[in-house]
Structures are given as structure tokens and as C-alpha cells.
Homo-oligomer: A and B are copies of this chain.
Amino acid sequence: MTELKNDRFLKALLREPVDRTPIWMMRQAGRYLPEYRASRATAGSFMDLCMNADFACEVTMQPLERYPLDAAILFSDILTIPDAMDLGLYFETGEGPKFKKVVRTEADVDALPIVNTASDLSYVTKAVSTIRHELNGRVPLIGFSGSPWTLATYMVEGGSSKDFRHVKAMMYNQPEVMHRMLDKLALSVIDYLNAQIMAGAQAVQIFDTWGGVLSHAAYQEFSLKYMQQIVDGLIREHEGRRVPVILFTKGAGQWLESMANTGCDALGIDWTTDLGNARARVGSKVALQGNMDPSVLYASPKRIREEVASILASYGHGTGQVFNLGHGIHQFVDPEHAKAFIEAVVELSPQYHK
């Protein structure tokens, strides 16, 4: 494999010294970029982009051409696994993802297969190896998956939800059925992420978008437990390097300690948590990735720069931070504002690494 020319992202995740704070943005290959919208118009649907390795590679590279980012992330969707379970993922314009089949009963859960990436999701590993080849050592490539709990919410509700009525009813009324479903999902995710690592992903992130809607106790039992199982099952070293694992639960500011105890390398932090406080609590165990409110990108470049300065100061001196937004970049953001954000990190962070 080609030597990595920029490894400050991987180093910071392992809390090794770096020259400046590395940065990437969740959903950095996304609708806010006109070149992405053009590619998508050519490819057809969102899933057409995901399923064609050349298109997936093309859009993955787009933000790297514009900005001095320190990592690329596989272009894909968190719902590839439920789709491979034959639930029929589809997208309607202006709405979130939906499934043709929902999982509501014990029989539905028992009928779910454990997904085999090699046979069922080869388009994803093909995209990983294509992108890795195209990157040619420029920056590391991040692989990812949804968390079992987050995937389960879409599978039971049949799409996005506001109150998570059906999935919570299943969780509270039939906890053993829910556990069987989450176990199948965890085994599928382990296989999926390991396949991505073997295909060339140099770090992996687990997106637990909906763990934060759970109670303190239910989070531990129904979300974190299965992320722990995944962390335990992942290939942690490949190509002679450690493959860092990042756990990101949106809304988990109160639960950072238990997340850090899973043995993951880093935590994704949303903007409701003060980064200095998070570092004081778990910074001796894990790196921290985050955490600017994506809505700050609607503000002026001057204001964006102030916010970056404030987050850098909050984290303080030394390694262990990966700069990012606290959630995916919004589609209406001006690409020039994203540029101001990234350049502010590049320019303002070196003083914290002297």
C-alpha cells in the first residue's frame, strides 16, 4: 500500500503528537457542494451514487479538492445493512429514508438474516478499495456504519421518527426480542466494518444518531452494549497500523464515561457538551472529535472563526482532538463558509501543539 502522506488524523485519534489539529466534516461530501449536486443529477438517486464505486469515489474526493481536509470518509448510507436484510430502502424527495417492510413482531425479527458483506454488500467494499486507490495516500479513509440501535429505529419505525413509538414499545414490552434483533445487527456491523477495514478503511466510526433518545438505563442496555460488542469484534490493527474506532452518539454528553470505557479510541462529541469539560472527564482514555454546531456555518466567516477559536481554547493544549462539526453539515451552507471554518482550524490550531 502507498505510504500515507498526511496521518495527523490517525495520530490525533491515538493521542499522539501532531503539528496542528486535524479536521474533517461529517457529511463533507454532501448537497451543500454544487459539484456533488451535479454528480448526483448524473448518477440518478442517492443510492445509485452509493452503489456505483466510481460515483462514490468521485463525490468522496470532491471536498478534498476544495479544502485542506485531513480525512476522507466513504460515501455511503447508514442504512445499507437493513437494505441488505431485504427491507427495501427507498428515498422520497424531501423526506427521510423509508423501508417497504417494517420489523414489528418476533417473527419479523427471527426472519432477519445476519448480513454477509462479501455477498450482500460488495458494492460498499468495492467503493472503499476504489476510493483508497484514488486517494493514493493523500489522507486516511474513514469507514463507517450505523449503530445497531440506530439501525433498529429505522427498521421498526419504517423510516425516520419523532417519538420512536414502535421501537420503544418493542424495547419495553419485548426486551428479549429487541436484544435478538440488536445482536443480529451487531454481528452484521462487525462483519461490515471488518470488511471495510480489509478493503482499505484506516479508521472506522459508528454513528449512533438516535442513542440520545433513550433513557440513561436503556442507553446502556440497548445501544452501548452493542457498540461494545462491535468494538470487541473489530480488527484493530491492519497494514501495520492501529485502526482507530470512533463512537458517536448524538446527545450522549451525560454518558461519555461509559462510552470511553468500551475500549474505543475516540468519542464523537456534539455541540451541547463543552469540550474542555469532556476532556477533563474522559480525555485520559480517548481522543475527542467535534464539536461545532453545524448551524454556526450559517454565520459570517468572522463569527465562524471566533467559534473555532473558542472550541480550540476550550479543548486546550496538546493532542487528542480531531476538529469536526457536532453533526453532519447542512445542505444550505455556503461552501465558502465551510472553507472559512476549515481554514480557521488550520490557521489557529498550531499554537496548541507547540
Contact = CB atoms under 8 A, between A and B. Distances in A.
B168 A272 contact: no
A272 B216 contact: yes
A80 to B, nearest CB: 23
A173 interface: yes
Contacts of A317: none
Nearest to A253: B254
Interface in A126-164: 163-164
12 contacts: A168-B296, A169-B298, A173-B303, A214-B293, A215-B272, A216-B272, A216-B273, A217-B274, A217-B310, A218-B293, A254-B254, A254-B273
Contact of A253 (B163, B169, B253, B271): B253
Contact of A293 (B215, B272, B273, B307): B215
A238 interface: no
Interface of A: 163-165, 168-169, 172-173, 212, 214-219, 251, 253-254, 271-274, 277, 293-296, 298-300, 303, 307, 310, 326, 330, 332
Nearest to A327: B163
Contacts of A217: 274, 310
A173 B254 contact: no
A295 B164 contact: yes
Contacts of A215: 271-272, 293, 326
B254 A169 contact: no
A269 B113 CA distance: 39
Nearest to A330: B163
Copies in the complex: 2
A42 to B, nearest CB: 27
A215 B294 CA distance: 10
B274 A172 contact: no
A163 B217 CA distance: 28
Nearest to A304: B172
A296 B170 CA distance: 10
Contact of A298 (B168, B294, B296): B168
Contact of A299 (B172, B251, B293, B298): B172
A296 B164 CA distance: 11
Contacts of A254: 253-254, 272-274, 277
Contact of A165 (B172, B298, B300): B298
B299 A272 contact: no
A271 B172 CA distance: 14
